[in-house]
A and B are shown apart, each in its own frame.
Chain A
Amino acid sequence: MTTKDFLDENYKVKPLQVIDDKALINLLNDPKYAPLMGILREKPFTIKEIRKRYNAGRKKPKEEVTIRQYVKILIDSGLIIKAGQSMTAGKIAAENLYGSSARCYFPVVLAEDFWESGDNQFITEKVLQLLNLVDTKKKPTIESLRILLHSIYSKTELEIAQVFEKYEKEIAENLSNSPFNEIQYISNFMMLLVMLTNSSIYKKDLEDNFY
């Protein structure tokens, strides 16, 4: 059975997209949607193809309607776009192809209450418990950890996002064929290095609460 994918001419994947909307960040982190976005990193797929891959790592497989529903929510939020059609020889009906809007997303957490909301609160508590095993002179409180995480992540992410946005054209050109891994590494390296150049800002906070 020969199947051929036809991508729309105006379907363009951005190499990198900055996401600073809290609802979108939550979607990208949601265990229901995160695997779906991971699947579409490779290339656009039909609902059937998405479903097959989505269910591969899963004990309870999801029905096609459910996958369709997830895709619809992601389309409404702009993270997924219709990318073209997949045609099969001998079949009159073609299937829609869905692709992600970007190969890699760079989240910027601006909300003050991010580390207190939903799953993040739980995750912060777990990180604090692990941090208590580290040999630091002072034992941080959940409040001081939240403040530190907010200042580390938000400040760093915001500054990097500004660079990404300011030089959007150059980045789109330089990274147009770069695989997901490479773009992800760039985000990670930038996080690390911007944290380094900003380290004097956290110094007092760290000394007050962690040393």
Chain B
Amino acid sequence: METRDLISFTPKAVIVIDQKKQFDLLYLPKNAKKYSPILYVLRDGPLTLKELEYKYNTIADEPKKKNTIYSYVQDLEKGGLVTKAGQRISPGHTFCELLYDRTATIFYPVLVTDEFFKSKEATAALEQTRNLLSLYLEQPAPNFNKLKDVVFKTYQHAQRSVGDIFSEHSEEVSEITADLTFLQLDKICGIFETLMAVLHFNDNSEELLSELKLGGKT
């Protein structure tokens, strides 16, 4: 039986996540576990609650009941990450099912918080990076906290620069990024962020390197 969708919402290409509340919804580990499967399955377009439930349970670690998933959707809706995007009707019925969608293809975070660098994985990764860096440069490993500081500040700076461009030129940005797939947009944001970091290094590399007590390469 063929269903018909009435779509009344077009998601933005990028939404800059600069409020703590939204950031926490996306990135706090306890929240990511609950909400990320919903945001993941919505990457490809709007779904009804029934479809969400089915798809959620094929990828989530713990299966959830429809009511629980509905409450997650409501949390995400309150946080501005998900919205009602339209309705679906089956021939012969007069009752419509609601369709939900992400408010944007990409949620771009500009709030890399200290919290992130406290997580077990980030701390372990930083420790390993310290050792690898020392092997690579054949110099003593930099101080852990100094390294954390430099990495943290660089990310923060690069993300702010990208976030500012996305916010200040939101119309041009949505024109440039219209019709891109999630993977393409994700890659573009990554490259753009890297370029912003390199521009930042160009002005500050000596200071940052001396903070780490490392000699740069010439």
What is the minimal beta-carbon distance from A208 to any residue of chain B, in angstroms?
Answer: 12
Are A192 and B154 within 8 A (Cβ)? yes
Are B192 and A131 within 8 A (Cβ)? yes
Are A190 and B209 within 8 A (Cβ)? no
The residue from B40, B121, B195 contacting A131, defined by CB atoms under 8 A apart: B195
Are A199 and B165 within 8 A (Cβ)? no
Are B195 and A53 within 8 A (Cβ)? no
Are A56 and B205 within 8 A (Cβ)? no
Are A149 and B201 within 8 A (Cβ)? no
In the complex, whether B6 has a CB less than 8 A from a CB of chain A is: no
CA distance A192 to B198 in the complex (A): 9
Query: Interface readout for A175-193 with B: 1 if CB under 8 Å, 0 if not?
Result: 1001101110110011111
Are A206 and B198 within 8 A (Cβ)? yes
Chain A residue numbers with a CB within 8 Å of B150 are 193, 196
With A130-B192, A136-B199, A197-B216 given, can you name 18 additional A-B contacts, CB distance below 8 Å?
A53-B58, A58-B44, A59-B44, A122-B184, A133-B169, A133-B173, A152-B198, A163-B136, A167-B132, A175-B128, A179-B121, A186-B129, A190-B133, A192-B197, A193-B129, A196-B216, A197-B217, A206-B202
Classify chain A: how many residues form its interface, as a range: 35 or more
Chain A residue numbers with a CB within 8 Å of B154 are 192, 196
Chain B residue numbers with a CB within 8 Å of A122 are 184
Closest to A185 in B: B125
A115-163 CB contacts (< 8 Å) to partner B:
119, 122-123, 126-127, 129-131, 133-134, 136, 148-149, 152-153, 159-160, 163
Query: Interface readout for B181-214 with A: 1 if CB under 8 Å, 0 if not?
Result: 1011001100110111111011001001100001
In the complex, whether B41 has a CB less than 8 A from a CB of chain A is: yes
The residue from B121, B155, B198 contacting A181, defined by CB atoms under 8 A apart: B121
Are B191 and A182 within 8 A (Cβ)? no
Rank and list the top 8 A-B pairs by shortest CB-CB distance, nearest first: A185-B125, A199-B205, A199-B201, A189-B129, A182-B121, A56-B58, A56-B55, A56-B59
Chain A residue numbers with a CB within 8 Å of B217 are 197-198, 200-201
Chain A residue numbers with a CB within 8 Å of B128 are 174-175, 182, 186
Are A133 and B177 within 8 A (Cβ)? no
In the complex, whether B28 has a CB less than 8 A from a CB of chain A is: no
The residue from A59, A130, A178, A192 contacting B176, defined by CB atoms under 8 A apart: A130
Chain A residue numbers with a CB within 8 Å of B195 are 127, 131, 148, 152
